[in-house]
Amino acid sequence: MRPPLGRLALAGVLAAAACRASAPVDNFAIALDLGTSVPFDLAGLDLTGVDLANIDLAIIGDIAVTCTGGLSPCSGACVDLQGTATDCGRCGHDCAGGQCSGGVCQEVTLTTAVTVGTSFDIATDGVHVLWSSSAGDGSGPGPNTGVYAIATSGTGQTPFPIAPPADYMSPAARPQAMRVAGTTAYWVNYTDPSSVAWAVYRGPVAGGTVNNVTSYGTTGTIATMTVSPTASRVYVIAYSSSNTTSVRDCDPAGSGCTTIVNPVAGVAVAGGATAVADAAYLYWAEWGTGGGIRRFHLGDPASTAPVTLAGPYNTAANLVLDGGYLYWSVGSKIYRTPTTTADPQIVIDTGNNVAGVVAAGPYVVWGDSATGVIRYASSTPGGTAVNLAAGNQIHYNAGGGSGMLARDAGSVYWMNRGDNTIRKVALP
């Protein structure tokens, strides 16, 4: 009977190795290119004169491994996809510190030392999870007010302050929308309940000196802001008491700002995670009559009208950018449109108000404000919702249009209001 191709090929190179030496072979490198998956069998090979311990066998391609007992082949080994944290549900799906149960990655509680109900936004740089909290009353900020961070791995952590407040006039008296770029955190803040002065600040993620980026004082409300992909610019979107929206382009070092979009009457920008930018465009969501998803080409004159990519919507929120598409929520629906054209489509109707959205390649992930469950579906319209994590009252800031989800390359992070925790779970 003809041996399997893999056996023949290996027999050939091993025989060649044996012929080349009268003594055991030292450091003989073998590259075996199997092309496609083929059976692999060492049984019956004549290995006389070949010292296998000193042979570097590099196999190029896949080897078909036959597994039994409910195990599955992964990288040449048989593993339990139902309970292996590094191969959970499929080969290579790592649970990022969580356990694997029934082929599903389980959530991890990173810290229990937060007051989630007063928190406004969450972000991550892949190493830290950061959040802004605006606890307090008329007498001063509450004990958990400020901008805080923990590591993305580990449990039972104690949050460390990036910018704790000293009083209502401090840079983190009432922090709201925030972003992380590189090793720096940026956030919107307002101070002094009697005059409500608005500003944007920045500080090192690891903690350190906090600096002002720009101040509006009492002349306008900063609804949201975002940072350019290179972290060289900060874009600030504000509106006045007469609901006129304008956009500033600011130097992160605080040397000044330029108005790049003149005030537009009739709409108000939602707060929270509602603005994103790429190398060429700034995108944001507007609430109110005539609201929707706007796009502005960076470098155009300030008098240039923003392009409407979708709308009208009264309450578009949770705007994110991924893979050339914008995603956002309106009530229970999640939408997407290409950044290049106005072609909005409903990705999925979740059935309940959406508490935060993140997009990651083939998936879109959201929090269900009614059940607290973290769910996901295909980022292509027409998918089915699947539970990703049980959750427990994910924090939902309906009035500000801000959800409490953030992601890095491997995990989703959220604030859990039911037990005042910050949790994560591996992406699908």
Inter-residue long-range contacts of 9-13, CB under 8 Å, 24+ positions, other chains counted: 9/34, 10/40, 10/42, 10/45, 11/45, 11/46
CATH of 108-426, one of 2.120.10.30, 3.40.50.720, 3.90.1150.10, 3.10.400.10: 2.120.10.30
| pLDDT < 70 stretches in the chain | 1-64, 115-118, 135-143, 168, 192-196, 241-243, 265-273, 391-393, 395-403
Which residue from 236, 198, 235, 201 is spatially nearest to 220, judged by alpha carbons?
A: 198
pLDDT of residue 396: 62
Number of neighbours of residue 361 by Cβ within 10 angstroms: 10
Cβ-Cβ contacts under 8 Å for 141 (sequence gap 6 or more): 135, 165, 167, 168, 170, 173, 174
Residue 11 DSSP class = H
pLDDT of residue 72: 94
Q: Could you tell me the CA-to-CA distances from 279 to 282, 284, 372 in Å, in that order?
A: 8, 15, 35
Q: Are 174 and 150 in contact (CB under 8 A)?
A: no
Cβ-Cβ contacts under 8 Å for 301 (sequence gap 6 or more): none
Tens digits of residue pLDDT in 59-86: 444 456 789 999 999 988 999 999 999 9
Which string of DSSP letters, residue by residue, matches 68-108? Answer: -TT-EEETTEEE-TTT-TTSSSSTT---TTS-EETTEEPPE
In the chain, domain spans: 5-64, 108-426
Q: What pTM was computed for the model?
A: 0.82
Q: Could you tell me the CA-to-CA distances from 330 to 333, 350, 353, 394 in Å, in that order?
A: 5, 11, 8, 18
Q: What is the dihedral of CA 257, 263, 269, 272, to 10 degrees?
A: 0
- Chain-centroid distance, C-alpha 391: 17
Tens digits of residue pLDDT in 191-210: 765 666 889 999 999 888 99
Pairwise CA distance, residues 228 & 239, whole Å: 21
pLDDT of residue 364: 97
